[in-house]
Amino acid sequence: MLQDQIQEISFAIEEIKSENGEQWTVKQMEAQKKKLDEQLKSLTEESRKDDLITFEELGIDSVMVDEAHHFKNLSIFSKINNVSGISSTGSKKAMDMYLKCQYLDEMGDGRGIVFATGTPVSNTMCELYVMQLYLQKKTLERMGIYHFDSWAANFGEVTTALELTVEGSGFRFKSRFNKFTNVPELMTSFREVADVQTPDMLNLPVPALRSGKPIIVESEPDWYVKQVMEDFAKRAEKIHAGGVDPRVDNFLKITGEARLLGTDARLLEPDAPNNPDGKLNKVAANVAAEYFAGNKDGKIGCQLVFSDIGTPKAVWTPDWAERIKNGGQFDIYNYLKTELVKQGIPAEEIAFIHDAKTDAQREALFREMRSGKKKILIGSTDQCGTGVNVQAHITAMHHVDCPWVRLEVA
């Protein structure tokens, strides 16, 4: 299979060369194939795998993959350079799934592979191509599509627009692969394998929002946050100028730190001041207000709080705030619980999804949420976003940060 991949890339390079009249030397082509060879071998590296039994020996003739979007980060070869939305890196689990699908496709003549997901395309257009690779590679080949650039030429378009710079100090033109073309033809082929269900077709009983739309709560940065942001802007300008080793500093590092800063400066620097008008203090105030409004006159009101950053670093205790002052590590979960307890909410009614380590513990926690014994559950998108059936008494959901669609890079 690895050899087939190398041959497909060789064919793609030759095709691109002939179509565009690009003068690729043999040396350049060999360098590209060598790079791919090393990448594929790294993704399928077997030194850490057992050698007791192989996948083929298991006798599996069908695989059903739930939450299939976890396997969308498949390595893609493309000649399109310096365009956002196209990633040549990939994860080991995606490559592993691809090899299994190719094997089952050969053994079952295109049958036996079922993917289930609510988000087949959520981050880039490449994800639809990856889904088609998994499920209908032979169909693509019958259409004359043997590599991503050919697919992109038929069904995608690169657009260039003026965007705000990363450092927020100006604008520059940015090219992105972000527009579908020939959509009817694309959907005709995709629907050969896809059973698409839209919300109006399913008619699921989704509760209406109290105000008709999400409530955006704004918080103002204090002097410390503004000072650190100015430092971020200077770092970004240096990186953009090309004078910084990416192993020392890069845009991804700045973006990650800015995300922490935007939530609470103490995630970056434990000694940073506590901003009274900061995001976490407003979250605590809103959760407390919902708690006391929803739990009176015999009513039960439960809430979900989502935060993907600042997950608990230690078990909460009443003296948690003192431990932070003495050198402990600051985190969002314990801070929110401390503030909520200060405002009169019993500590035993506040739970972290991370406290439930096993399936039995998770189910016990969910039962307590459904019965109203626990009234506030704080969790992350990964652990609290799927398979959490606790909506019986939910009156409010709070999102501390925006979920970050991450690429799983091996």
Last residue of a domain, one of 253, 274, 295: 274
User: Is residue 211 assigned to a domain?
Assistant: no
Question: End-to-end distance of the chain based on CA atoms, in angstroms?
Answer: 19
Per-residue pLDDT of the chain (410 residues; tens, 9 = 90+): 777 777 777 777 777 666 665 555 556 666 767 777 776 677 667 666 677 888 888 889 999 999 898 898 887 777 776 667 677 677 888 888 998 998 998 888 778 899 998 888 877 888 899 999 999 888 888 888 888 888 888 888 888 877 776 656 677 777 778 788 898 998 999 999 888 888 888 888 878 888 889 999 999 899 999 999 999 888 888 888 887 888 888 888 988 898 899 899 999 988 899 999 999 999 999 999 999 999 988 889 999 999 998 888 888 888 877 877 777 788 899 999 999 999 999 999 999 999 888 989 999 999 999 999 999 999 998 888 777 888 889 999 999 988 765 443 33
Q: Which two tokens stand for residue 305?
A: 């709080």
Residue-number span of the structural domain to which 106 is assigned: 2-202
24 with 165, same domain? yes
What pLDDT sits at residue 20?
60
27 with 59, same domain? yes
260 with 394, same domain? no
What global pTM score does this model have? Answer: 0.74
What pLDDT sits at residue 307?
92
User: Is residue 214 assigned to a domain?
Assistant: no
Q: How many CA atoms lie within 13 A of 242 on its CB side?
A: 0
pLDDT tens digit string along 220-251?
Answer: 899 999 999 999 888 888 888 887 888 888 88
244 with 128, same domain? no
Q: Which two tokens stand for residue 376?
A: 């506030």
What pLDDT sits at residue 344?
93
143 with 14, same domain? yes
Distance separating alpha carbons of residues 306 and 385, to the nearest angstrom: 9
What pLDDT sits at residue 25?
56
98 with 139, same domain? yes
187 with 125, same domain? yes
67 with 159, same domain? yes
Last residue of a domain, one of 140, 170, 202: 202
Looking at the 3D structure of the chain, how many domains does it have?
A: 3
40 with 166, same domain? yes
Identify the bridge partners of residue 365 per DSSP, sorted by sequence position: none
193 with 260, same domain? no
313 with 409, same domain? yes
Distance separating alpha carbons of residues 217 and 249, to the nearest angstrom: 32
User: Is residue 212 assigned to a domain?
Assistant: no
User: Is residue 402 assigned to a domain?
Assistant: yes
Last residue of a domain, one of 202, 237, 254: 202
